[in-house]
Structure 1
């Protein structure tokens, strides 16, 4: 137990150092956390078993991130933008799949493996994106469209992966395949998460009316997230989708959403720091040597598919020009869901599993380190990060303090 506490203290110190370096270089803090974690993992100061043992904190942080994204799904906003987020999500997810399938087949990858990698390419990691939006207080058409798109992206990825798995199974086993489990399992994961998440959101809105102080509100928030993640684990659901749905339902039923988010914002930064440092520590740089042509094509092809698909979806849905031109560049980060799907691919298709796993791990390493930088640059160019916010908030605060 003592080792765990010391490890957490080391992780927080590494996060502070990484963040300070990122601020000095005008990089997003999340890039500093990830880089610090990467160095920590390479150093071996903390045992790999200890890093894996802290997964509970990572799950809790991801639950808070998902709930926060869900709280952006206000009915008033959805009425205003209409079907645009859904249309863009479909096009950017399918765009990534089609471009990857085509390119991977062209370089000679077996058709089943190409189909599976293409489907995994649809997934996007919302955590790093949200951290950039929060740190720089980004706001505008691109940011407002970005949050619902990344929220729906994982559901799209699960559906596309289930369909691709069925197709790959039929190609390999020549029709001797039971399609029902492959279709029903992801449907249960998606719709079960939405239904239970919605129920948790209703209960949270009901109980929050009776809480009058911030301490009680924080206790309720912890109950929502811990309960949601726990239920998702027991019933093999998506904790991301479940917590997002809880946040979406809660924000539309309660007038105290701002109060709850405010109290959680005061205590979650250290949790997010630990989450991203742990994410960086779990990145394995040794897989880079095995990336090969397939990995390079995957990394580049997915970005092309996301950008082109988002542009096309925004154009069809008549989204503003700034959304058409910039949204795709903010959809680069990829992490947890993609890694999870690669593990499923390894189990179902052992003949291609190692290749798929190595490619996804390499891509995650690149996307997670580079993605936040591109997101910040894109939102800045779109005019949604104020010039004064390009300098990290803590730097501004220290200047203010020194002038007193």
Structure 2
């Protein structure tokens, strides 16, 4: 079976590169090509990548998300926050709450029950950083919009978990049998976030130790990979967010180590094949069959989540007197949604079990739509903001 998996990994890499090159003719980002490659080769179209093979490639996703989180966390340098203040924090809160409020109100207006609307509305807060990060890396985007975007998508994970924790508490309060679990429901997301941050900080300090003794690039690559793997594995073991843990590790590391930029560049040098495999596999997991099943609920969710993110990001930018490009273009760059949202659906299905199938179908369909259009929209916004040079576009 090992040879079979290696064969499929070879097909995945080659197909990803081919489709990445083909979409360039349409001036689309490489990541769109990778997702389309997976979608076309996957179990719902050509079936070259069978469902049982795709399900065995979870390790690729874990590794890729670990390195993506490691890259995102490196943006949290104290020098950056001294320069911009609390702008990214405020925008992360307003864009997340914008999506929650608009989706929740829209679903209630569409005749859905309040507990169901609150829970599904809370899932709308989550944003997936992976596709956006790939666009930024491919086109070497630089500027205030790019800086703020990287910070906001990193903070969004924490904000989404907190918002969902409160939503679950509220929804449970409207149903029978909540008993004494309300306090636990409120405190749980905060405890999970604090645990992830503490674990990440401890690993960051430990990360600096072997770097003192190993100076060669090859050895340091091994150390980087080891700590990304450890952060992901330990977070999963403790039941906390692996993304938050690895981001925290990276964020603390870049502020305590004397030359973090060298380490981050080294990490970037090995990630390309990992990212190609991750997005092709993600594309293969996109289930086309759920699209006809989502109905009005799905349409409300897909449309109002984007509107909420856009309005919320704009409001946050206005409140913090941010750069005009941030106020105008940040919202649409926050479209992608994947891992965290899908994970939250598992909890949501327990809170409102009578709506379990609808919640899963809506989130999976939204993931498909957002992941396909999100990278292209992010590129367009970064070009409009003047943060992608014409020759790179």
- Could you tell me the TM-score, scaled by structure 2's length? 0.97
Q: Which residue of structure 1 lines up, in the alignment, with residue 15 of structure 2?
A: 14
Q: Tell me, which stretches of 5 or more residues in structure 2 are unaligned?
A: none
**Displacement of 1:347:** 2.8
**Displacement of 1:269:** 0.1
Residue in structure 1 matching 2:237, options 227, 234, 238:
234
Residue in structure 2 matching 1:331, options 319, 329, 334:
334
**Displacement of 1:237:** 1.0
Q: 1:177, 1:28 → 2: CA distance?
A: 50
Q: Which residue of structure 1 lines up, in the alignment, with residue 28 of structure 2?
A: 27
**Displacement of 1:44:** 1.6
Residue in structure 1 matching 2:158, options 155, 158, 177:
155
Residue in structure 1 matching 2:90, options 87, 91, 94:
87
Change (3 A) 1:76 1:25: same
**Displacement of 1:177:** 5.5
Instruction: Compute the RMSD of aligned alpha carbons.
Output: 1.1
Q: SS state of the match for residue 215, structure 2?
A: coil
Q: SS state of the match for residue 112, structure 2?
A: coil
- Contact 1:170/1:177 (8 A) holds in 2: no
Q: 2:156, 2:291 → 1: CA distance?
A: 26
Q: Which residue of structure 1 lines up, in the alignment, with residue 380 of structure 2?
A: 377
Q: 2:214, 2:177 → 1: CA distance?
A: 59
Alignment of 1:191-230 (within 5 A): 191-230=194-233
- Contact 1:188/1:237 (8 A) holds in 2: no
Q: Which residue of structure 2 lines up, in the alignment, with residue 401 of structure 1?
A: none
Q: 1:46, 1:129 → 2: CA distance?
A: 25
**Displacement of 1:255:** 2.5
Q: Which residue of structure 2 lines up, in the alignment, with residue 273 of structure 1?
A: 276
- Contact 2:116/2:355 (8 A) holds in 1: yes
Number of aligned positions between the proteins = 390
Alignment of 1:98-113 (within 5 A): 98-113=101-116
Q: SS state of the match for residue 355, structure 2?
A: helix
- Contact 2:115/2:352 (8 A) holds in 1: no
Q: 2:104, 2:374 → 1: CA distance?
A: 22
Q: 1:251, 1:92 → 2: CA distance?
A: 27
**Displacement of 1:203:** 1.3
- Could you tell me the TM-score, scaled by structure 1's length? 0.94
Q: SS state of the match for residue 36, structure 2?
A: helix
Q: 1:256, 1:216 → 2: CA distance?
A: 16
Residue in structure 2 matching 1:288, options 280, 286, 291:
291
Q: 1:343, 1:178 → 2: CA distance?
A: 18
**Could you list the per-position Cα deviations for residues 24-50 of structure 1 after superposition, in whole angstroms to 9, with x for gaps in the alignment?**
211000000001111111222222122
Alignment of 1:243-262 (within 5 A): 243-262=246-265
Q: Tell me, which stretches of 5 or more residues in structure 1 are unaligned?
A: 391-404
Q: 1:46, 1:326 → 2: CA distance?
A: 37
**Could you list the per-position Cα deviations for residues 219-264 of structure 1 after superposition, in whole angstroms to 9, with x for gaps in the alignment?**
1111111000110111101010000001101111112222212222
Q: 1:188, 1:274 → 2: CA distance?
A: 33
Q: 1:299, 1:177 → 2: CA distance?
A: 35
- Contact 1:169/1:177 (8 A) holds in 2: no
**Could you list the per-position Cα deviations for residues 106-131 of structure 1 after superposition, in whole angstroms to 9, with x for gaps in the alignment?**
01111111101110000000010100
**Displacement of 1:205:** 2.2
Q: Which residue of structure 1 lines up, in the alignment, with residue 357 of structure 2?
A: 354
Residue in structure 2 matching 1:138, options 121, 141, 146:
141
Q: SS state of the match for residue 237, structure 1?
A: coil
**Displacement of 1:19:** 0.5
Q: 1:317, 1:45 → 2: CA distance?
A: 50
